[in-house]
Structure 1
């Protein structure tokens, strides 16, 4: 059995990186793939580079569209995918040559809807800054998958380090115009995942091109992260209420991270943004106080939440500790 894998690559102004990305996909040891390159209105030579690869390899399909953002490009890829399995690769990243062969073997062996691999974070100088590993384990029930998502962080909230059965996307699409789109769609997909397999191997290599949280311009779009956290809690309350306080812990952390982002922003910030974050934090932290979930939370998370509740001006010290411990 050699099922087709559709690998969807949104492309936008990445002429410096896209060749490495495409070649890493075409060099897969598993050959039954189609590579869907969605040129999202690039203003550089990215679209031309994509066409050159389509001319050289019949497995490559190029779709040109007006700029609509990452979610829009991924949705176009899903609409045109013919594979039994789906993968996503960002166009400035690259993957190991055996990534999809390895993950497909696990998917077929255990009849899993999702297989997830580890990944490396690469800085602009090409150096590995961190390796993210997941344990070599299976999740054989919906409850185990939910626990991995809400509690243990063994189900990461990014789409690109995974292989999916195409059926997961029959009625699911990415939310257009939102940042943190991965959280929205994975939270929805969670309802349909009965089995998942993790491999500890770091098959995916993620290039960190964006500015650091410290000193970056703050825009209202960053509040999409808060909306994603609120959506996570909303869906948890509807479908898995036993994990609601774990979702609240995550939401409180998002409020803190955004607040620190605001503190270090170079641009003038409306006080209303800070007030909204503090209000959201207080609402959910009141529910968490004294809960068994907060007592069971990792020490660094407890320090972060309690320090913010007591004295927000010193939170950045707790955040530095959090980053040191969690990476």
Structure 2
């Protein structure tokens, strides 16, 4: 949850300089440039309206002018220069820029490469792995790929031949979206789980409907307005990360890990946790942990009454 809040804070602080540099930008253009949805952009603008100088009255708060679908800053409250990047932030920007370069039409390639070169000259990032480089090359040149991929659901490494479709960035992680020939379907392959990748001397031929459909990332989308639970997930339930929108917080020495997951209904989340028995436990918030215990006790009582 802290990482999510920090990420939004950095984005909010950089939004005002962006709008100052791009007056009368449209909502769609701003959302695309900032890497958020229109819904998130509107939520961020509403948040910025509550920020400003001490006094927090008219003339103190950040203000915007909306004409049609365009946005212009009318009072920046001194937040008119971009933040300096930390080493971690610079690495994140580099990952995002490299991912955007793989998506035709998303950014000006020359400008993106120039930005990458400038950031690397100031704060060099670790070079990408050979497998990641091969994945990007195959996607860019339209070649098939042979992958050795680690599946978290089975804790095994399998060989797959895939037809790359595109590279997508989801929650600061790079994924290859590709047609898996053995599964006969579209799959997302997380870069850090690709053990090795070899570009094949044959063209990538994913089915046209799969390419036209666009990336299906709905499972990974988290509404920042929703509450988040911190869960302790046993090693035996590691397969959950392949099927549910979980975000790893801490990996423990025994193979278990702490992970975050957003939810809309406390009742639903309690039933969800109970469905995994002792393999999943709620660490936070305490009221959700209490709800899980109460639901479990009620279920036991109902069973005893039968």
- State the TM-score, normalizing by the size of structure 2: 0.27
Q: Which has the higher strand share?
A: 2
Greater RCO, CA 8 A, separation 6+: 1
Query: Who wins on radius of gyration, i.e. which is larger?
Result: 2
- State the TM-score, normalizing by the size of structure 1: 0.25
